[in-house]
Amino acid sequence: MKSKILFAVAFVALVAAFGCVATPTAYAPTTQIPTVPSDDGVVEGVASVEDIDILILESFPVQVNVVAWGNLPDGCTTIDEVIQERDGNTFRVTITTVRPVGMVCTEALEPFERVIALDVYGLPAGVYTVDVNGVTGTFELAVDNVPQVEPTEVPAQGSIVGKVWHDLCKVPYETVDVPPEGCVKLPDGSLVANGLLEAGEPGIEGVVVMLGSGACPSTGLATATADADGLYTFSGLDAGTYCVSSDALDATNEKILIPGGWTNPAGGSVTVTLGAGEERLDVNFGWDYQFLP
């Protein structure tokens, strides 16, 4: 009887001893979602993020990087994807993991670090929140994150202004040695208007004045018609050289001017050079009528 008791005690002890042998445990990390293997033979989940750091790079438009630190549960688990979404002023970043099904690994934590470039181009100024697998932080854009377009400096524009006037010269019937006021004597002894715009000399309305690019002769850039006071204007002109002229035989001008001739400028044309924003207010045209004073 005693020997049976001893055998029973020894058997119980033997069973207890073998019952203490460790067996491999199934992989069941708390950070994996879902825990059911996918069709491609891996277990998918999300990484355990411990902390994040938000870096605003010195550039413009600014660039914003998020550095995420954490630990993977074992050496068999790896980072799969980094998914970035934005909802208003909140960036939601998800770092996913994968682990092959059935692989046996020592359950030692494996640290990881990921740098994530946020898509911040074109965002308005404001405070933004970043959520990486539940760990959050904020950053601020002081100004709208778009390229600053330097204002284009518009060159100052100039103008050419003048008067078409009746250059008066009252020719006496008798021969004189001293030209009357407003007249000059030519080498052949004839008298003509002096080509100077003087007080009291009237403007000639309706005369067409032409503008051309470059030195004279040149036309085709613009035309202007003298008003009731004989004034004309060409405005909005860039710096450069222009030809200002009036053709007495133009269909419109002929009816107004002929017979007669230009006293200033000679031939009815003059080359004018403008600086940036310069206004020339003295480009005048004097006309001496043949049968008028």
**Hey, what domains does the chain have and what are their CATH numbers?**
29-141 (no CATH), 158-289 (2.60.40.10)
Closest CA to 165 of 228, 219, 223: 228
Rounded to the nearest 5 percent, the helix, strand and coil shares of the chain are 10, 45, 45
Tell me which residue of 247, 249, 256, 263 sits closest to 191, measured CA to CA. 263
CA atoms within 13 A on the CB side of 12: 6
- For residue 151, cis peptide bond before it (omega within 30 degrees of 0): no
Contact 158, 239 (CB under 8 A): yes
Tokens of 15: 């069973």
Instruction: Look at the alpha carbons of 256, 259, 263, 267 in this order and tell me if their dihedral is positive or negative.
Output: positive
Residue-level pLDDT at 3 = 40
The rounded distance, in Å, linking the Cα atoms of 112 and 216 is 78
Tokens 């990390």 correspond to what residue? 29
What is d(CA 275, CA 16) in angstroms, rounded to the nearest whole number?
Answer: 108
Instruction: For residue 46, list its beta bridge partners.
Output: 96
Residue 89 near residue 130 (C-beta atoms within 8 A):
no
Instruction: Please name the residue that has the structure tokens 């002096």.
Output: 194
Q: For each of the chain's 293 residues, which pLDDT tens digit applies?
A: 334 333 333 333 333 333 333 333 333 333 444 444 555 688 999 999 999 999 999 888 899 999 999 999 998 999 999 999 999 999 999 999 999 988 888 789 999 999 999 999 999 999 999 999 999 999 999 999 988 777 788 889 999 999 999 999 988 877 788 899 999 998 888 899 999 999 999 999 999 999 999 999 999 999 999 999 999 999 999 999 999 999 999 999 999 999 999 999 999 999 999 999 999 999 999 999 998 88
Q: Are strands 191-193 and 48-57 parallel, antiparallel or unpaired?
A: unpaired
CB within 8 Å of 119: residues ≥ 6 apart? 84, 86
Question: For residues 229 and 257, is the Cβ–Cβ distance under 8 A?
Answer: no
Which pTM does this prediction carry? 0.52
